[in-house]
Structure 1
């Protein structure tokens, strides 16, 4: 199915850690509109009331990011056996960017997210959400939207 470009397999991030990591790929349907159609979701209100809403936004956001950055970036996700998770890890040269997708206008990171950030040690971490304007939380952590994240990643590509 991956050869039809309908699915995206996101491989797990790995490093020499003393943690048990999830080693199976994450699978995303690349076209969230197709999923919505198959489920009979016709309006945004119907989508918001559906259990698929959060997963659909995560897949949409990841697909949008990966389709709009240079192919020079390596990408993966991070998840430990304890549930520590980051939705997307981007690596280019010596730059590591961690991205956690939250389908919210007031996103909150969990203890497991912070633990994952401590393990991966990215140069910067972004929480990709539904905010209108990005804002910094300090400690190399920014809440942002898709447009501003892509702008930042394009800047990093030029460095």
Structure 2
């Protein structure tokens, strides 16, 4: 059993908001975390993919009114969008009667319909949290390279062998393509979307060129953009935006694209284990994406992530912009003897970040030059968590 860092924040939000939406991909651990929030006799769990549980909500206002003394957990709530209006009425009635917060915990495996419906209907009544796959702090008992190779989904990470882990991820991908994607968007042939998702894995950490992707897939650019939007909304793919401040430089304007879980990158590319990964062309980009996702799982939600690149070759892999305008420049290296390149120095001269850091696979922290420090991923994650 892994201890999730989101647990205290979830309890805090339930104490201060009548409804909380917990978002994250399937199988990331949302249900386990939700059921840990209240003892069995103090929660009602309803899985809206279950016909039996949907039948219990045939008269939702009547049913939910009988359980106002418990935390009602609604899993896959996007499958019943009509419930949001009922929840709004019950929450408002409860406020008038002085009833407590923490009435409803809504679980969703995508942000599309859930954010659209609840954002409009439950505005001012709901808090949003995202549960990421396991990060290096939550899976501290596991070897770092196993977490990188298998990814952060608990069942994949804890599989008894690399072969079983890969099989789990392949089944996960198939389930999304054949069952989950059709629930959220226009019907897309599973084979087409799998090819597209695999293309993105090959392009891990590259600048997004929608026109080229569209040509390779044989669709128009608008269709390719819609596919990317869908995978981003399903919390499976990330667009990392470029830094956009006007500093008198020709800046890259296209985002970078990442498949968010490293284990899914490897499954899409048929990389069976760590040894095969280390000899694969994607190894550097996979490590970069793995580091970025772990760091972004640990930063406060008010911190904005970017990358920085100019036409002159200045580049920063990850730029963290803090609310007070402070910038942290982070370079990501796979080598255990990292070296800082000229592009990073040039970028830091442009932006004047307050912190200059190089993340590498080791554990020792040491200086790499004036104001630049190399450190391991867990150490930086701990520092970011302490600032949350």
Could you tell me which residue of structure 1 aligns to residue 336 of structure 2?
105
- What displacement does 1:153 show? 2.4
Query: 2:294 aligned with 1:48, yes or no?
Result: no
Alignment of 1:114-125 (within 5 A): 114-125=345-356
Aligned length: 157
The separation in 2 between residues aligned to 1:109 and 1:89, in whole angstroms, is 16
Q: Secondary structure at the match of 2:276?
A: helix
TM-score (norm 1): 0.93
Q: Which has the larger radius of gyration?
A: 2
Could you tell me which residue of structure 2 aligns to residue 147 of structure 1?
378
The separation in 1 between residues aligned to 2:338 and 2:369, in whole angstroms, is 15
Q: Secondary structure at the match of 2:291?
A: helix
- What displacement does 1:71 show? 0.3
The separation in 2 between residues aligned to 1:132 and 1:44, in whole angstroms, is 19
Once the two structures are superposed, residues 109-146 of structure 1 have per-residue CA deviations (whole angstroms, 9 ceiling, x without a partner) of: 11111111111110011101112211123422110111
Q: Secondary structure at the match of 1:103?
A: coil
- For CA contacts below 8 A with separation 6 or more, give which structure has more relative contact order: 1
Alignment of 1:9-158 (within 5 A): 9-92=239-322, 93-155=324-386, 157=387
CA contact (8 A) 2:237 2:257 kept: yes
Gaps of 5+ in 2: 1-230
- What displacement does 1:42 show? 1.2
Once the two structures are superposed, residues 11-53 of structure 1 have per-residue CA deviations (whole angstroms, 9 ceiling, x without a partner) of: 1112221110001111111011111112221121100000000
Output the aligned Cα RMSD. 1.3
Once the two structures are superposed, residues 71-102 of structure 1 have per-residue CA deviations (whole angstroms, 9 ceiling, x without a partner) of: 01111110001221101111111321000111
Indicate the structure with greater helix content: 2
Indicate the structure with greater strand content: 1
The separation in 1 between residues aligned to 2:256 and 2:352, in whole angstroms, is 21
